[in-house]
Amino acid sequence: MSQERILIVDDEHLIRWSLSQPLIKNGYTVDTAATGAEAQSKLATFKPQMVLLDIRLPDANGLELLKRFKAENEHLMVIMITAYADMGSAVEAFKFGAEDYIGKPFNLESVKNVIAQAFEKQKINAQLAESSHPIDQKIDEDRLIGNSPEMIDVFKIIKRCAETNDKTVLILGESGTGKELVAKAVHLYSQRSKAPFFEINCAAIPDNLLENELFGHEKGAYTDAGKRHKGIFEMADGGTVFLDEIGDMPLPMQGKILKAIENKRYRRLGGDRDIDVNVRIIAATNRVLKEMVEEGKFRADLYYRLNVMTINIPPLKERKADIPHLAKYFIDLFNKEYNRNIEDISPEALEIMLSYNWPGNVRELRNSIERALILEDSRILSADNLNLSIKQDNQPSTKVTSAAPAKSPETSRNHLHSEPSNPEELHITLPAGGISFEELEKSIIQLALEKHAGNQTKAAQYLQLSRDTLRYRMKKFDLQ
């Protein structure tokens, strides 16, 4: 669960509520205060990392509170809430250390972007402060899991990329597939493993800050540049720089990155000399760079420079054989985190997971397991606590209609038609004496396999199941 805590300070209840609800849904931990005194108290008890602070409060001046808060905790991020009439004060707030401001009336999407960018910038600054701190040799919290043929191919390519110590690597895959973990794995298995690994999300940093974060600046390079600032390239010397979401990098910055890759040198903002750089570039994106090149949204020369060693991570729907292993791994992980003792996952829950297409990939599976584990009362993870969208997606779309009762309740298979009379309906004759649902399911699978001469791929397509789900059910009914 998120450890990012936000305190909202505003005397208007509607504003506190309208800001807190979407932020909570986004995974932040949120508390509120209506006065300066209450905010001061919650600063000590709630210990927020960020404060959204109204510039006008009934018992305090927002600017004075800002100065007090920053004096007590220089790392606290403060974003001012201000009406248009107070814009002058908002500008003044920057002098006292405010991170940004949001104006009334505010756009919730803009507010969420401002907050996300502030947390991302704090994360980068923390990384820069740990100049010689490489990532751990073991990724304890999140690991690459899978023994499907697709993931075995990924592991092989990771090894090859790690062995080619200086070549750029491009990681392609949908959101949530684990691109960051692949980048870390390439670094850990390379000769650079004892040197720093730095990650920057190109989509989360404003254009005017990205160059500064990557290359740093000289003293006096711009207003308030009071001292020299080292960038990520300089701090990662000898190690790896991971440019996540490089498809969102602005075109001017793409040219500078290309120059740094080709010439192995760069220049700080406001600098008058080049600095030699020894870093490996790993880039990742969920976008189709080739199409972006054709549309003029991504530099062709940078694309071909990055596309030397490419790792394509398959979406989870294409490697469902890994779902049981991933589910077990996440259960063990969250058992430790929440001090629970969930022993296994129910066959019904696993079957639903195997039937679902996971548009959010491994990240969505992880979140679903976490939610289900928190809500589960027994020692077996049941289907009841899976996300509603997953269970709804698993509902059969075929319309089933009952016909006249059969005269004899013989095996259910005698009352099935392998060819529906209407492609939108499946007509089933139900015996008067009742029927076993499992026998019915077993018979349908048998008929589908017979219809396609035992070809599991075609039978799965006919039943609108994944091949892994069909195999699971064949094993369940001993239909090998």
**The total number of structural domains that make up the chain:** 4
The CATH code of the domain that includes 194 is 3.40.50.300
Residue 9 is predicted with a pLDDT of 95
Both 34 and 86 in a single domain? yes
The CATH code of the domain that includes 76 is 3.40.50.2300
SS3 for 163-202 is: HCCCCCEEEECCCCCCHHHHHHHHHHCCCCCCCCEEEEEC
Backbone φ and ψ of 10, nearest 5°: -160, 140
Q: What is the CA radius of gyration of the chain?
A: 28
Both 190 and 292 in a single domain? yes
Lowest mean pLDDT among 186-190, 390-394, 444-448: 390-394
Both 298 and 338 in a single domain? no
The CATH code of the domain that includes 433 is 1.10.10
Residue 90 is predicted with a pLDDT of 59
pLDDT exceeds cutoff 50 at 228: yes
For residue 248, give the amino acid letter: D
Asked whether the CA dihedral 423, 424, 430, 436 is positive or negative, the reply is positive
pLDDT tens-place string over residues 425-447: 555 666 666 667 777 788 888 88
Residue 138 lies in a domain: no
Task: Count CA within 13 A, CB hemisphere, residue 62.
Answer: 31
Q: How far apart are CA 447 and CA 418, in angstroms?
A: 6
Cβ 417 vs Cβ 451: under 8 Å? no
Residue 143 lies in a domain: no
Residue 222 is predicted with a pLDDT of 67
Residue 332 lies in a domain: yes
Residue 238 is predicted with a pLDDT of 92
Q: Which of 84, 101, 129 is the last residue of a domain?
A: 129
Q: Are strands 50-54 and 60-61 parallel, antiparallel or unpaired?
A: unpaired
Residue 91 is predicted with a pLDDT of 56
Q: How far apart are CA 3 and CA 169, in angstroms?
A: 31
The CATH code of the domain that includes 370 is 1.10.8.60
Both 430 and 380 in a single domain? no
Q: Environment class of residue 11 by beta-carbon count within 10 Å: exposed (0-12), middle (13-18) or buried (19+)? A: middle
In whole numbers, what is the pLDDT of the chain averaged over residues?
81
pLDDT tens-place string over residues 1-22: 357 999 999 999 989 999 999 9
Q: What are residue 82's DSSP bridge partners?
A: 103
Residue 134 lies in a domain: no
Instruction: List Cα–Cα distances, 216 to 221, 232, 245, 272, in angstroms.
Output: 10, 7, 20, 13
Instruction: List Cα–Cα distances, 272 to 224, 262, 275, 297, in angstroms.
Output: 19, 20, 10, 30
Q: How far apart are CA 369 and CA 344, in angstroms?
A: 11
Residue 181 is predicted with a pLDDT of 92
- Range of 336's domain? 317-393
Residue 144 lies in a domain: no
Residue 87 is predicted with a pLDDT of 52
pLDDT exceeds cutoff 80 at 85: no
Both 415 and 347 in a single domain? no
Residue 450 is predicted with a pLDDT of 85
Q: DSSP of 350-413, one letter per residue?
A: HHHHHHS--TTHHHHHHHHHHHHHHH--SSEE-GGGS-HHHHHHTS--SEEEE-SPBSS---GG
Residue 317: its H or E element:
none
Both 281 and 202 in a single domain? yes
Residue 35 is predicted with a pLDDT of 93
Residue 316 is predicted with a pLDDT of 94
Average pLDDT rounded to a whole number, residues 247-251: 91
Both 211 and 295 in a single domain? yes
| Range with top average pLDDT, 48-52, 135-139, 205-209, 417-421 | 48-52
Asked whether the CA dihedral 212, 215, 216, 221 is positive or negative, the reply is negative
Q: What are residue 283's DSSP bridge partners?
A: 170, 243
pLDDT tens-place string over residues 292-321: 999 999 999 999 999 989 999 999 999 988
Q: Which of 295, 314, 333 is the last residue of a domain?
A: 314
Exposed e or buried b per residue across 84-105, where buried means at least 16 C-beta atoms within 10 angstroms of its C-beta: eebeebbeebeebebbbbbbee
Q: Which pairs from 386-389 meet CB under 8 Å and 24+ separation? A: 386/349, 386/352, 386/353
Both 181 and 255 in a single domain? yes
Cβ 29 vs Cβ 52: under 8 Å? no
Residue 135 is predicted with a pLDDT of 39
Both 277 and 406 in a single domain? no
Residue 117 lies in a domain: yes
Cα(first)–Cα(last) distance of the chain, in Å? 42
Q: How confident is the model at residue 355 (pLDDT cuts 50, 70, 90)?
A: confident
Residue 141 lies in a domain: no
Q: Which of 266, 288, 314 is the last residue of a domain?
A: 314
Cβ 159 vs Cβ 204: under 8 Å? no
pLDDT exceeds cutoff 70 at 403: no
Q: Environment class of residue 22 by beta-carbon count within 10 Å: exposed (0-12), middle (13-18) or buried (19+)? A: middle
Q: Environment class of residue 216 by beta-carbon count within 10 Å: exposed (0-12), middle (13-18) or buried (19+)? A: buried
Both 191 and 163 in a single domain? yes
Residue 137 lies in a domain: no
5 vs 92, higher pLDDT: 5
Average pLDDT rounded to a whole number, residues 289-293: 93
For residue 236, give the amino acid letter: A
Q: How far apart are CA 354 and CA 352, in angstroms?
A: 5
Q: 44: which 2 tokens?
A: 């000590």
Both 198 and 294 in a single domain? yes
pLDDT tens-place string over residues 56-83: 898 988 889 998 998 888 889 999 888 7
Q: How far apart are CA 254 and CA 273, in angstroms?
A: 20
Q: 51: which 2 tokens?
A: 């404060």
- The whole-model pTM stands at 0.56
pLDDT tens-place string over residues 258-278: 999 998 888 888 777 888 889
Q: How confident is the model at residue 399 (pLDDT cuts 50, 70, 90)?
A: very low
Both 329 and 350 in a single domain? yes
